[in-house]
């Protein structure tokens, strides 16, 4: 379910897909605010692209090992923003950074190529996930704004990059960055401020939701003018099974290039049983650096518990102690999240239940043994997507009556371009280099949506950012590839706080039928609803204005979802839709609510005669006995023929 093409010799795209309608995002300009770009990557070649759009006013900034010659008709801009960083930390080189747009980290190259990388043949990590890679909008032009450095991403640098992109002609901003809760008010949030100005001028802004899940209220980048993206799995895995001496086999994942030298049973030990005498039990169980005794580890497969230190570092610890392989086991809080990491030795990562079975086998067996099979790419894996355990979730702690995240997209084990200056593991001890890498995070899911936003911008250049967001949200899927409800990593059923409106469905987004639009005036009304004073409003909007005496309720902001944080009694929530298809149409209302409240649409039928026509309606919410102070959720849908426009609702009872 990722946007990359996998295991195919030619990029076969259906004729009626969003990609062909949008000509692969032709001439849309996508900017990535991140760690820079590796311009030599195959994902940034300019084959098949015409002249640079004349409206582009940007440039490629010279820096260490970087000049205008590194840019082309694909990579049309690259700059670095560092004044804020230097004011706080001193000059870049004093902190191990270089003044250059070049990506020394890998993260920026990965995210930019995911959003809009060109077709790249023979892409893989050590032969895994092999095929033709492409970004969401492969014929869009790309721009790299480097705002993140070794010591972080600073507000003034982020704002400077937004300002540059707005003036230079960027259409879509992709930001795989953010801060963890507690969240700052919008007038103290550089991403919220910069994105407000971009959106009011017709630019789309897409941000990652954060990697602090599954903690409730951990979602970040929550401004309503931003598209906020959670992360979910794809239908491909890099399978690395492990067999035990008791004839049990468990399916893990791994991106290791290494295999056990012989197909035989190897002694199996728990890391806590082979810890160094100087290490405490926690250090041994988690395979900290220096925590294992080489005399006890040599020649064995070691079982480590996931947590605290990086997964790849644990494998390095086992290898340096003389181990021949590692089984890494998820802790209960990691559930079923499995990452295909490029380990330093033969290794596999097991889910929490299977990991517990391995530990139990060791504890009950006198001479436990195991064998780790070499990894293998497996496609069309069922029961996907699943929400990633790390994906930050709602409720929105800053503005509870705006539902966040908005959408989920592929963010687990994503193959994309990588920096030639960074190792695949990003570990200081790793001297390997790869042209493509597989990593996970909402940083990876965000650019999937950025790419689709670019396609929609190309297909419908006059659509507003809000219309594009609405099309993406209201056409999303809430079922997996078995037509079952999308699950959490922990196996429970996911809901709007996990995935917003659902999982990204690009082709359906190309024909939404109806959109929930919003203008600069609507966003200003939203800010007024927060009770901001004149100074605070001016910080966000850049202009002085007064709010009306009557301030609209936040839940009436024309958003493609509804969140009511205190439902005291029957409530009429107003929404307005714009018809964006051709010819007349009638949309019938369908409601589906879960425990705790009833939903009705008034009216429950909308009739349109022409494109651009607007209709308003009310979503009527009535609490039922038992709603209480916990959230419940439901959905409403407008249906006309094959078009289904679906929005989530979350409500919580009044505090008693």
Which residues neighbour 404 within 8 Å (Cβ) at sequence distance 6 or greater?
209, 219, 221, 222, 228, 394, 395, 396, 500
Neighbours of 260 (CB within 10 A): 17
Closest by CA to 415, choosing from 207, 35, 134, is 134
Tokens 């407008």 sit at which residue? Answer: 638
Which residues neighbour 457 within 8 Å (Cβ) at sequence distance 6 or greater?
25, 28, 171, 172, 204, 463, 468
Closest by CA to 31, choosing from 201, 151, 206, 209, is 206
Which residues neighbour 473 within 8 Å (Cβ) at sequence distance 6 or greater?
406, 407, 500, 501, 502, 560, 561, 647
Neighbours of 656 (CB within 10 A): 5
Question: Is 139 tagged catalytic?
Answer: no
Q: Tokens at residue 555, please?
A: 């839940």
Among candidate residues 27, 34, 480, 517, the one labeled active-site is: 34
Q: Tokens at residue 299, please?
A: 């020649």
| Rounded distance between C-alpha atoms, residue 481 and residue 170, angstroms | 35
| Rounded distance between C-alpha atoms, residue 209 and residue 494, angstroms | 16
| Helix, strand, or coil (residue 159) | helix
Neighbours of 322 (CB within 10 A): 16
Question: Is 171 tagged catalytic?
Answer: no
| Helix, strand, or coil (residue 602) | strand
Q: What 3 state SS string does 612-628 have?
A: CCEEEEEEEEEECCCCC
Cα 467–469–471 angle (5° rounding)? 70
| Rounded distance between C-alpha atoms, residue 335 and residue 477, angstroms | 23
- The secondary element (H helix, E strand) that includes residue 330 is none
| Rounded distance between C-alpha atoms, residue 205 and residue 160, angstroms | 15
Question: Is 522 tagged catalytic?
Answer: no
Q: Is the peptide bond before 555 cis (omega within 30 degrees of 0)?
A: no
Among candidate residues 41, 82, 105, 107, the one labeled active-site is: 107
Residue 473 vs residues 32, 468, 510, 649: alpha-carbon distances, Å: 22, 9, 11, 13
Among candidate residues 124, 423, 443, 470, the one labeled active-site is: 443
| Rounded distance between C-alpha atoms, residue 176 and residue 304, angstroms | 30
Active-site positions read 34, 107, 443
């Amino acid at each position: 379910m990722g946007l990359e093409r996998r295991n195919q010799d030619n990029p076969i795209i259906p004729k009626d897909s969003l990609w062909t309608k949008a000509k692969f995002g032709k001439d849309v300009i996508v900017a990535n605010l991140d760690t820079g770009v590796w311009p030599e990557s195959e994902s940034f070649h300019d084959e098949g692209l015409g002249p640079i759009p004349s409206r582009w006013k940007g440039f490629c900034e010279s820096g260490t090992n970087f000049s205008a010659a590194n840019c082309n008709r694909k990579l049309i801009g690259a700059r670095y923003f560092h004044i804020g960083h230097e004011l706080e930390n001193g000059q870049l080189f004093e902190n191990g950074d270089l003044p250059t747009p070049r990506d020394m980290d890998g993260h920026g190259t990965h995210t930019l190529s995911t959003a809009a990388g060109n077709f790249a043949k023979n892409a893989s990590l050590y032969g895994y996930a092999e095929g033709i890679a492409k970004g969401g909008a492969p014929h869009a032009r790309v721009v790299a704004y480097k705002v993140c450095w070794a010591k972080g991403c600073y507000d003034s640098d982020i704002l400077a990059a937004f300002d540059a992109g707005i003036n230079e002609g960027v259409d879509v901003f992709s930001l795989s960055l953010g801060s963890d809760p507690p969240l700052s008010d919008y007038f103290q949030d550089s991403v919220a401020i910069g994105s407000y100005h971009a959106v009011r001028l017709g630019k789309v802004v897409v941000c990652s939701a954060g990697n602090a899940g599954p903690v409730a209220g951990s979602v970040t980048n929550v401004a309503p003018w931003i598209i906020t993206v959670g992360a979910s799995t794809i239908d491909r895995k890099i399978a690395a099974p492990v067999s035990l001496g008791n004839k049990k086999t468990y399916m893990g994942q791994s991106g290791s290039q290494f295999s056990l030298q012989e197909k035989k049973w190897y002694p199996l030990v728990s890391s806590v049983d082979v810890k160094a005498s100087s290490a405490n039990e926690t250090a041994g169980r988690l395979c900290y650096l220096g925590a294992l005794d080489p005399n006890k580890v040599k020649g064995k497969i070691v079982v480590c518990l996931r947590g605290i230190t990086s997964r790849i570092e644990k494998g390095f610890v086992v290898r340096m102690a003389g181990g021949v392989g590692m089984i890494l086991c998820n802790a209960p809080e990691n559930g079923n999240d499995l990452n295909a990491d490029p380990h330093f030795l033969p290794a596999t990562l097991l889910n929490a239940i299977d990991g517990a079975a391995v530990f139990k086998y060791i504890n009950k067996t006198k001479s436990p043994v195991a064998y780790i099979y070499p990894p293998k790419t497996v496609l069309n894996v069922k029961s996907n997507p699943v929400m990633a355990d790390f994906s930050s979730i709602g409720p929105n702690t800053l503005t509870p009556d705006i539902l966040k995240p908005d959408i989920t997209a592929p963010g687990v084990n994503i193959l994309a371009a990588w920096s030639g200056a960074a190792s695949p593991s990003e570990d200081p001890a790793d001297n390997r280099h790869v042209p493509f890498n597989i990593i996970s995070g909402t940083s990876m899911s965000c650019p999937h949506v950025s790419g689709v936003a670019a396609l929609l911008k190309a297909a419908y250049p006059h659509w507003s950012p809000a219309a594009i967001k609405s099309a993406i949200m209201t056409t999303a899927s809430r079922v997996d590839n078995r037509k079952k409800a999308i699950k959490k990593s922990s196996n429970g059923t996911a809901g709007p706080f996990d995935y917003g409106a659902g999982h990204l469905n690009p082709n359906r987004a190309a024909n939404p039928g109806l959109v929930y639009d919003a203008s600069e005036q609507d966003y200003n009304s939203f800010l007024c609803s927060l009770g901001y004073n004149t100074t605070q409003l001016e910080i966000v909007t850049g202009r002085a204005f007064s709010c009306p005496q009557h301030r609209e309720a936040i839940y009436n902001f024309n958003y493609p979802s509804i969140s009511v944080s205190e439902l005291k009694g029957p409530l009429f929530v107003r929404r307005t839709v714009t018809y964006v298809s051709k010819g007349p149409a009638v949309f019938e209302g369908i409601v589906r609510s879960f425990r705790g409240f009833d939903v009705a649409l008034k009216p429950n039928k909308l009739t349109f005669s022409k494109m651009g026509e607007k209709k308003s309606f009310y979503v009527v919410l009535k609490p039922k006995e038992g709603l209480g102070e916990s959230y419940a959720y439901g959905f409403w849908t407008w249906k006309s023929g094959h078009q289904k426009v679906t929005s989530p609702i979350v409500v919580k009872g009044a505090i008693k």
